[in-house]
Each structure stands twice: as structure tokens, then as C-alpha cells.
Amino acid sequence: MYGNIFSEDTASFFRSPVREIFKKVDLNSIYSFAGGYPSAETFPLEEIRKTMAEVIDRYGGKAFQYGATQGVPELREAVAARYGVPVERVQITSSSQQGIDVCTRVLVDPGDVVLTSNPSYLGALQSFCSYRADIRGVAHNDDLEAFRADYEKVIAQVKAEGKTVKFLYMIPDFQNPSGESLTLEERRMLVDLAARHGFLIIEDSPYRELRYEGEHIPTMYSLDPDRVIHLGSFSKIFAPGFRLGWALAHPDILDKIYVCKQSLDLCPPIFDQYVAAEFLSSGRLDENLVRTIALYKGKRDLLLGLLEEHMPAGVRWTHPEGGLFLFLTMPEGFDAVKFYDRALDAGVAYVAGEFFHPDRSGKNTMRLNFSFMSPERITEGVRLLAALLCAEISDIQ
């Protein structure tokens, strides 16, 4: 009934297929490898309860009043101390999804190019599309020189079209959806590329602290703090229900984000910020993180073992050193979107890999989450999924 009253941007909005799945089914009634939900077991309810009482005692009404647009000083300082950056380089965001969105808003005009990996995080692709960015995905290449050349080729093409690359969006640690990380050399190469061609890098890093093996690799931000915007999140190391994250960037960039956030929502939720600050600076967050990492490492090992045991020949998967996801590749000809309804009818859910590919490739891929379900349900879920895949793949072959 509203005809063409809506803005041009709305024509580019697209719905998250992941969130649409959640509307249709109760996650607890099926074996769900879909979504990126942390395990509710990792939310330290008793410590949260204690911390909340302490915050009310300490701050009183201030914890429920309006606050600074940049975030409450206590949380900005706790984040700055944890990541070794000056406090004027910290903006608290109402979730790192907001970090992605507000960065895109202050950087992208319709038609501007955003470079990203192919595949990439769906929520970021939604944001880029909603501002009518021209998204160019570049697949990973294990050969560093070839990887560089792939990017150079796309950038040359963009220039030939008279367009501008505004930023490269990357999740260097335990990527969503692939679970894989960029090596230090790859990070250096991409930062160098950005400097030479004059674009920024958005480093989205919600999983970084969930490492189950191997050594931490320096952030892209640490390689060039004036060119990289680092986005962090409390969702995977504390609890997503607080909707809190942070952006680290040069003050000139944060200033644009700050003014934008004034009209977006004035300030992040105040009480939640004090709770997060208290949780961080008391050491409770780190204690809880140790337990979370042990739990998720066990689930990842379990899932890898089960795939090895049950998956039919011709199916490959990534071996993530951290994070929440791994990525399955089925033989050519398999269609994970078509297969999805059959899987859901049988009681098992995943996200088809195609949705993460800005170029709509990856039809034979799917993302599996291993954080949400219990070990028992992961076990039963993989058996069920593997049985369905065995039947489907023998049909293809």
C-alpha cells in the first residue's frame, strides 16, 4: 500500500537467510549447526549476578542515566588497557555488527567498491549491500604471490571502471564462515596493498580470543594502526545479549563514527557497559574465557573426529585453530541450498555456503557451527547429516 515511498537503499536490503531459518524452527527442537550462537553454558550466570549487584552498589543511578556517545570511560579504559591502545582510539559500539554498519555508513557512497574475501560474513555483506556498495570478493589463495596478484587484478579492474575501493573487509582470525586464519605474511601483504592503493582495512575480529591451538598472530591493526579499523566484540568472549563491541581506529576516523552514532542511538547501553567493564577489569572475563576455550576446543575436536569417521568420500572440510565454525566442501554438482529442506525435514540445520559468497559461487559448500550444541547432540547431528549426505552424494556420483 506504500508504493514507492521507501528510500532507494531499501531496494538493496536483503534478509539474512540465517535469521529466516530461526523464524521457522525452534533451534532446540533440531540438530542445529546453523547460526553462530555461543553455548549458553559459557554465560557465567552467578558471576554476572554478582557483578550486576556490584555495579548498582558502586554507580547507583549513574548506571541507568544517559552517558557519553563514545562509551563510559571505565569500559573504554578497560578495552584500551587490554589491547594496548590509547583510550582516544576506543569507541564502544552497540555490537560489532554496529561497528561494521557505521564504518560502511561513514565511508561508502553508492557504487563505491568494498573488497572482501570470498566467502565472507553474511551480516557484513548485508550492511555493504544496504549502502549499495559494489562488493568484490577475492577467494583465498595459498600462494602468497598469486594471492597478491588476485587482489591487484581486481583493484586494476576497479580503477579501469573509474570506481574507488573504500576498504577491504577481513576477518583474519578463524574466519566466518571458513574457520581459517590469515598468516602473518598474508596480513602484511594486504596492509601493504591498502597503503599503496590508498584504501582502509576493516579488521573484524570477534573470534580472535577463542584460539584452541597454535600461536596468536599479530592483528592487522597492530601492523598499521592508522590504516586499519579493528572491530571487537563481547558476544563470543562474554555474552551476545549485551550487544557490546568496540572499534579501535585513528581518532580522525573515530570522530566521524562518533558524530554518526549521536544520531544513530546517542550512546551504547549504560548499565551493560559498566557490567562489561567490571567483568573485564576484575579478571572474571579471563577466568571465564579459559573455561569457554576448553569447552569449545573439546567440541571442535569432537566434530573433526566425527567428520573423519562418518563423512562420505569426496567431502572435505577446514581444520580451524579457533572460533566457532568449520566449512564443508562437497563434490561439484552438490547444491547445499536445494539439499537444505531435506536436511531440515530430517531434523538437522546448517547454513548453505552460497549465502556467504558475494559472487554466489560455493554452491557445494556449507558452514557448520560447533559452539552451540552439546557434545551429545553434535554427535547425533553429524551422524544424521552424514547419512543424508552419503545418500545424496552417491546419487550425484
197 or 363: whose CB is closer to a copy of itself? 197
Selected binder of a copy of itself within 130, 141, 222, 282 (CB under 8 A): 130
Asked if 286 and 82 count as a contact pair (C-beta separation under 8 A), the reply is no
From the list 309, 301, 303, 363, the residue with the least C-alpha distance to 336 is: 363
338 binds a copy of itself (CB under 8 A): no
Out of 79, 113, 270, 349, the only residue in the binding site for a copy of itself (CB under 8 A) is 270
Nearer to a copy of itself, 78 or 239 (CB): 239
Among 141, 25, 66, 119, CA closest to 365: 119
3-state secondary structure of 197: helix
Residue list 215-234, contact with a copy of itself (CB under 8 A): 226
123 near a copy of itself, rule: CB under 8 A? yes
Residue span binding a copy of itself (CB under 8 A) among the ranges 178-186, 245-253, 327-335, 344-352: 245-253
Contacts 24+ apart (CB under 8 A), 333-339: 333/364, 333/396, 334/363, 334/364, 334/392, 334/393, 334/396, 335/363, 335/364, 336/363, 336/364, 336/365, 336/366, 337/363, 339/388, 339/392
Among 142, 145, 263, 290, binds a copy of itself (CB under 8 A): 263
**What is d(CA 205, CA 151) in angstroms, rounded to the nearest whole number?**
21
Q: Is 71 in the site for a copy of itself (CB under 8 A)?
A: no
Verify binding: residue 97, a copy of itself, rule CB under 8 A: yes
Instruction: Choose which of 265, 286, 309, 359 interacts with a copy of itself (CB under 8 A).
Output: 265
Question: Which among 57-65, 146-154, 291-299, 359-367 is the span making contact with a copy of itself, rule CB under 8 A?
Answer: 57-65
| Helix pair angle (375-396, 336-346), 10° resolution | 130
What is the greatest pairwise CA distance in the chain? 67
Residue 73 main-chain phi, psi, to 5 deg: -55, -40
CB of 108 to a copy of itself, least distance (A): 6
Taking CB under 8 A as the binding criterion, the range among 100-108, 170-178, 278-286, 293-301 that sits at the site for a copy of itself is: 100-108
Residue of the chain from 25, 37, 54, 192 that contacts a copy of itself (CB under 8 A): 37
- Which of residues 108, 201, 202, 307 is near a copy of itself by CB under 8 A? 108
From the CB of 9, what's the least distance to a copy of itself, in Å?
Answer: 7
Q: How far is the CB of 91 from a copy of itself (least distance, A)?
A: 14
How far lies 23's CA from each of 15, 26, 186, 241, in Å?
12, 8, 39, 18
Residue 159 sits at the vertex; the CA angle it makes with 157 and 165, to the nearest 5 degrees, is 100
Q: Binding to a copy of itself by residue 260, rule CB under 8 A?
A: yes
> What letter does residue 211 receive in the DSSP assignment?
B
Q: Is 66 in the site for a copy of itself (CB under 8 A)?
A: yes
Q: Which of 64, 153, 159, 287 binds a copy of itself (CB under 8 A)?
A: 64
DSSP 92: E
What crossing angle do the helices spanning 96-107 and 251-265 adopt, rounded to 10°?
Answer: 110
Among the listed residues 13, 149, 286, 359, the single contact to a copy of itself using CB under 8 A:
13
